[in-house]
Amino acid sequence: MSDKILAAHVLVSSQMNAQWAETLQLARFDAVDHITIGPFQVGSDGKFILGWSNERDLHKRVTDVIAKARKDAASANRTIKIFAMQVSESEGGTIPGIHRLGDPVNVNDAAKGMTIKQQMYTNYITSISAILHQYDFDGWAVDYMPPDNVSLAPKLFHDVKEKLTEYGNKLEPKRQYQVAVLASTTRWLRPSSGSDAEKYPVTESVDFVYLKTYYGGLNNANTLSAWLDTVKYPKGRLLYGLVTEQKPAQPTAKEARDAVAKNELGGIHIWRLDGARISWSSQVQLALFSWLHSGVLDRNTLALQEVDAAWKEINH
């Protein structure tokens, strides 16, 4: 399975100041292919910015994470893709999400105030490239879940991809920026959904979908069938989700592996690398990375059977 991908999220915050340095050192960036870093948000003028606005340490922490990730990957002779992630506003309600840009189908009076929305929308899609360049990101990612599963999503994803491609082509050497979506629904992304999904298919604008099968994300609008059969999203670019930041729940690591093997998916996404359970999360990460890449990283990597057994124990 050497062509498979292990992706994971890193949430930077000025909280846990005493533990941050230790947590960063424990992170195994040599055993992950993609990481998304957040929170990024919609600014008051619509621009894509680093949030939360009241946290002053985030710039350095994002810089530190990226530097360590690049160094760890290079030491293992690997490459890593790093995405700046627009986090959903549902994260405590303190991070302005993409629904602030407008929701044409749902808004009762779409014409009223759309001039302001349009300016915010333009500011957003044109400001992402500067952030990616500033921090040396490889792409933009978005947490697509309520209330940010909006009808403008197909056009937004298309326009962001187009702007990033245009910007990357002007660089020397040229750079191919990518778009990833952490999805808990296919609403507005399906053809004939009432949005612009047919005009702007996500199969063309979105390079990777990380399927949020956790925290209620596995629902009738977010099944493998919904993505593979209805949206027609390529299976090799669809990653099955798994949560390790809290007490493990469904799906299990084994269920994730089975889904990848049975459906020939692109890999597995972990939420998340950092957090209070970093030791457990790292063990799961290493075992799954080894499985996806058909090799063992080091002698301390737990066997898959040990991970599966521990998963059952922790859930009791």
Mean pLDDT across the stretch 34-63? 86
pLDDT band at 194, cuts 50/70/90? confident
User: What region, left, alpha or beta, does residue 258 occupy, with left being phi > 0 and alpha being psi -120 to 50 degrees?
Assistant: alpha
- Identify the pLDDT of residue 192: 79
Q: Which residues of 162-198 are buried (b: 16+ CB within 10 A; e: fewer)?
A: ebbeebbeeeeeebebbbbbbbbbbbbbbeebebbbe
Element (H, E) at 269: strand 267-271
The residues pairing with 10 across neighbouring beta strands, listed in sequence order, are: 37
- Higher pLDDT residue, 294 or 132? 132
Domain positions in the chain are 5-314
pLDDT of residue 316: 42
Q: What is the pTM of this model?
A: 0.92
User: By three-state DSSP, how is residue 40 classified?
Assistant: strand
* Local confidence band at 2 (pLDDT 50, 70, 90 cut-offs): low
> What distance in Å separates the CA atoms of residue 300 and residue 286, rounded to the nearest whole number?
9
Q: Residue 9: its pLDDT value, please?
A: 93
Average pLDDT over residues 16-37: 82
**Quick one: fold of 5-314?**
TIM Barrel (3.20.20)
Contacts of 169 (CB under 8 A, 6+ apart): none
pLDDT in tens, 223-246: 999 999 999 999 999 999 998 876
Mean per-residue pLDDT of the chain: 86
First-residue to last-residue Cα distance in the chain: 32
Residue 53 or residue 119, greater confidence: 119
